[in-house]
Structures are given as structure tokens and as C-alpha cells.
Structure 1
């Protein structure tokens, strides 16, 4: 998966479902996606937080983009939004560690954040950066994913639901690799709001749920197969 900025719970359910997680850092940056932005709740309203970037372009790889200078402002926004949340004290420390990272390479900054959240959640997995794997760098799309599976000797590839439009089971079967997709679950939890808002940044989930509840939420997903 491409590295995202404090992604939603489904991203971490995906990590929970695998033995090895590959951070797909050597693919093109997608403008308007979730690589550098996400939603939180502020005073009961859905608010977009965006990490400033330098040199971002669809013609550049994620690991060729730099992080901008608004991390302090984002931290202030998160503090103001969640100061009364039940797990604020411990979670804001985690978020401060991530946002205060000296790393300015976007891929490595996001990779650091994902690892820190996984450590907090107790998710210990083999962790791989796609750019560090030996493969044909001219490959694109499904062929590139298949090359990664072959390099890691994978027997089962799991992706998010959006991958159903990109990958076909027959091509993976030729390498003796099963293909599945995760169906995330958004179990409602108390947001101190009149109506539950799902699929927010993991920040909202962490702020409002203790580790026992988080463990149950990480397990709350299904694996599905594509009908070719």
C-alpha cells in the first residue's frame, strides 16, 4: 500500500491481516488522494487536515517529494480538537513524536508515522519498503505488484477494496499466489457527537478508544475474493 497520512482504521486492519507489509513508496504521487491529508473531528464537525508538501507532482514518485513546514500548525489543530478526548494524554504524545520527526522525505516521514502507530497498536509485522526491493523499475501496475510478490515469495496477496479494479486473480494464480481484498469494518464508537462519523483518520480512533477496544477493532474485518 502507498503510505498515507494518519490513515483510517481500515489501513491498519489490512496490516493486521498480513505477515509482511510493503510500503509502496516508489510509485507516482497522486494529487487529491490520502497521501498527505485526512479527516478529523473538531467541535463535532468533519475537518480536513493537510500536510504541506514541496515539489509534489504526479510526475514524481512519493519518495521524491519533500514535506513542507506546517507540521506545528497541524499539531496545534489536533490538540485543540481532541483536548477533551479520553485518551488525549497518551495519544497526543504519539502524534507529537510523529509530527516532530526531523525526516523531510515524504515517503520516509509517512513510513515513520505508520510504524509508530503500529507500535502503539501492538502490530508487529515484517516491514518492507518497495524501493529497497530488487525488481525491474520499469514495471507498472499489476506487473510491478506481481514482481514484488515473487521477490518476497508470497503465497497470498491482500489489498484494499479499491484494488479489485486493478488486479485479476488469474495473473496471480500463475505465480501460485492467492488474491484477496479486505472488507474494512467501521464499528461505531463514542465521539461525543450526536451522530457517528466513520472512516476518519486513525487519530480520531486512537483518541476515543483504549487499547483493548482497539484490539477488537483491528480484528473486525473480512477477507473477500474477486469474481473474475
Structure 2
């Protein structure tokens, strides 16, 4: 059987597509040793509120750290971001079906003295994996100390773990040099995943939110169906 590897940066409370690729792979490599993207997803994601879709953002120290890797980024505790996050989550999801189950667990995570963004993000990913019973293992790219960039780094990581196929999202078509994988007889599997709609609060459906939205609205078995790519919307609403 092919050993399918997926590689993803450690985003903050990412969307269902992240967990789809984790669930359907044999190993997730967390790409923690690449440059932090200031206006990307590493320290923020979207939730749905009564005022529309809003960002939930972890403030980070930026001055003089433009080229820092994700695993070196420190949280900026000059802002009371923990209280702000919990208030935003309570306001947005206080009436959600699973709010009273999840919110105390989120409070425990937020109560810890996080210094590095990486540690907070990993704690959130592990929390969600526990909720969804994801048992696919993960490892850190930094453990391999591969001093390459771009596709060359991704290929070297897959080879380092004896991967036989590489799973990635369609967005990678803009930069991935697929021919480098082909030259090593490692097929690239392009995931066409899109999240089926599901019941949400605050009128209508908003796509591409943090998985936190689905966690608040659906039991784990239905979220696993969402992450599987099942497009049977009727079963989402059953």
C-alpha cells in the first residue's frame, strides 16, 4: 500500500480542508520551519458572528522579525487577546448546540501561558483531533533539518519518511513543481476538497470558516463526514 503523506503549515484553528487531508493521509508533516506569513492563516481564521464573518486573530510580535520561521513567532501579550477571543466565541456561538460542551475546554487551552504561537496552534490541533478521533500521526518538519525551499523541501520531507505519494490541495498548483515528484516516481494527489454546507447560526451559509464553527454546530460524527468530503448535504442536516 502506498504511504500517503500530506504536509501543511500549522495554521490557527484551520478550516475543515486541513482536517480532511490529515484524516485521509497516512502521515501529516507539520511545516513549522518556513517563514511566517504576516497576513496569512498562521495566526488567524474566520468565525461567523451576528455581524457577519469576522477574524479571530492571535496578536504576534512582528518588529524586527520579518523573516522568522513559524516556530519562532512569539505571541504579543501586550494585548488582552485571550479575553477578547473567548468573548468573541461566546458572543458568536453561545446559542450553538455544542457550545456548553466545547467552551470550557477552550477556556482551559486559553488559560495557559502561551509564549510561542506554534505551541498554541499545536494545542488547538490536538484538541480538534481528539474531538474527531483523528489517529493519523504527525511529525514536525523541523525535526528533519532540511535546508531547502519550495518543492525541493516538500519532496525531501516526503522521501525522509519513505512516502510513496504526496497529497496536496489544488491551491498548490500555482507553485508546486510536480515534475520533481514525478522524476522520483512519487505521484502527487490533488485534493479537490470543498466543504459541504451544514447548519450555521446567524442566517445563511458562509464557506471556508474555521472548523470551530462546525464544532459548535455538529456532533463529531457529522464533522468527520464533512471532513471526509461527503457531499450528501441531506445527511448533514439529519
**One of 22, 27, 30 as aligned partner of 1:23:** 30
C-alpha distance in structure 2 between counterparts of 1:221 and 1:131, whole Å: 33
Whether contact under 8 Å (1:183, 1:221) holds in the other structure is no
Correspondence for 2:170: 161
Correspondence for 2:234: none
Secondary structure at the aligned position of 1:53 is classed as coil
CA gap 1:221/1:23 in 2 versus in 1, 3 angstroms: farther
Offset at 1:199?
Answer: 0.9
Whether contact under 8 Å (1:38, 1:49) holds in the other structure is yes
Whether contact under 8 Å (1:8, 1:200) holds in the other structure is yes
CA gap 1:213/1:180 in 2 versus in 1, 3 angstroms: same
**One of 64, 67, 76 as aligned partner of 2:75:** 67
C-alpha distance in structure 1 between counterparts of 2:66 and 2:184, whole Å: 31
Offset at 1:221?
Answer: 6.1
Offset at 1:132?
Answer: 0.9
- The alignment of Structure 1 onto Structure 2 pairs a total of residues equal to 220
Write out aligned runs for 1:41-190 (5 A).
41-43=48-50, 45-55=52-62, 57-69=65-77, 70-135=81-146, 137=147, 139-190=148-199
Offset at 1:30?
Answer: 0.7
Offset at 1:188?
Answer: 1.4
Offset at 1:134?
Answer: 4.3
Give the stretch that moved more between structures: 83-92 or 162-171.
162-171
Offset at 1:54?
Answer: 1.4
TM-score of the pair, normalised by structure 2: 0.86
C-alpha distance in structure 2 between counterparts of 1:94 and 1:178, whole Å: 40
C-alpha distance in structure 2 between counterparts of 1:171 and 1:178, whole Å: 10
Offset at 1:208?
Answer: 0.6
C-alpha distance in structure 2 between counterparts of 1:22 and 1:58, whole Å: 24
Secondary structure at the aligned position of 1:81 is classed as helix
Deviation per CA, 1:53-74: give whole Å up to 9, x if none: 1136441111111012212221
CA gap 1:155/1:51 in 2 versus in 1, 3 angstroms: same
Offset at 1:152?
Answer: 0.5
Q: CA RMSD in A?
A: 1.7
Give the stretch that moved more between structures: 170-179 or 198-207.
170-179
* Structure 1: gaps of 5 or more residues: 223-228
Whether contact under 8 Å (2:93, 2:99) holds in the other structure is yes
Whether contact under 8 Å (2:132, 2:221) holds in the other structure is no
C-alpha distance in structure 1 between counterparts of 2:173 and 2:108, whole Å: 35
CA gap 1:209/1:65 in 2 versus in 1, 3 angstroms: same
C-alpha distance in structure 2 between counterparts of 1:195 and 1:208, whole Å: 14
C-alpha distance in structure 2 between counterparts of 1:77 and 1:146, whole Å: 40
